[in-house]
Structure 1
Amino acid sequence: MHPEYYISTNKAELDIDLIHQVLFQSYWAKGIPKATVEQSIEHSLCFAVYDFSKQQVGFARVISDYSTFGYLADVFVLEEHQGKGLAKALMHRIMAHPKLQGIRRFKLATQDAHSLYEQFGFTELAHPEIHMERWQPNFYLLPKG
């Protein structure tokens, strides 16, 4: 890991406003309400990357039962901090976390980071014919009520 950064799982240190801002503009959670981000963090194992001025520059979370299944979500490193190996360091920390050892199936969805995740054993679905999803594109942008 780059010596000017560190990773923490302490939720009290998270910059919720930053996480919301990034996710709100992302392709995978466009328009997500802040309350939804807060609730997702509350129910996830969270990892954050900080520079040594304690400014958050990256994030990821895992949704899991800690025994059989894990889902990696909301992974990002701010653009101005990319190219320093931070996403790879973040993935190393996630995959080595004691609560996530022994998980049989780990999933994620990505449009643009396949080469990163392949380094950690992720592949295309081995049997896509047995997997289903309930997908609501632009869910956060739809009128409510």
Structure 2
Amino acid sequence: MYSVSTDLAAFDLDAVYRFLAEEAYWSKGLPRAVFDRALAHSICFGGFVDGAQVAFGRVITDRATFAYLADVFVLPDYRGRGYSKRLMDAVVAHPDLQGLRRMVLVTGDAHGLYGRYGFTPLAAPDRYMELHRPDAYRRG
């Protein structure tokens, strides 16, 4: 049975950290202290099959106007079973994320998933800027 929770006490944080730091293309080398600080300042979502954590995502937000969806994954052995959709159902239904003016994300491979929830390419990409430091975790 699959369930989604936002209760960090139920999460297997060591497993989530391992996946993000060692497997995820966007966060390899993530220091544990940075991971812990990120969790403390996010709404985290865990997907569980029979109590074992198989999915994760987090939302960085002011809970009023803006949110950034990050670090969404389903463990490889559990992909293709609809778990990412159920995780996203929980994200978009979360009470603290209602009425936001904007929610954004960055993805290299899951455009179809996020499109189901209304995400589209940037309407005005020329207005967006970023300070991107891809080597931040290696610099110390």
Band the TM-score falls in, shorter-chain normalisation:
over 0.9
Other-structure match for 1:125: 122
Aligned pairs, how many? 139
Other-structure match for 2:35: 37
Provide runs of 4+ in structure 1 moved above 6 Å.
Answer: none
- Unpaired stretches in structure 2, ≥5 consecutive residues: none
- The match for 2:65 among 53, 68, 83 is 68
Matched, 1:140 2:106: no
Work out the CA distance in 1 between the residues paired with 2:65 and 2:3.
28
Work out the CA distance in 1 between the residues paired with 2:15 and 2:32.
10
Cα deviation for residue 138 of structure 1 reads 2.6
Other-structure match for 1:17: 14
In 2, are the aligned partners of 1:30 and 1:138 still within 8 Å (CA)? no
State the secondary structure of the residue aligned to 2:57. Answer: strand
- Unpaired stretches in structure 1, ≥5 consecutive residues: none
TM, length-normalised to structure 2:
0.96
| Identical-pair percentage | 46
TM, length-normalised to structure 1:
0.93
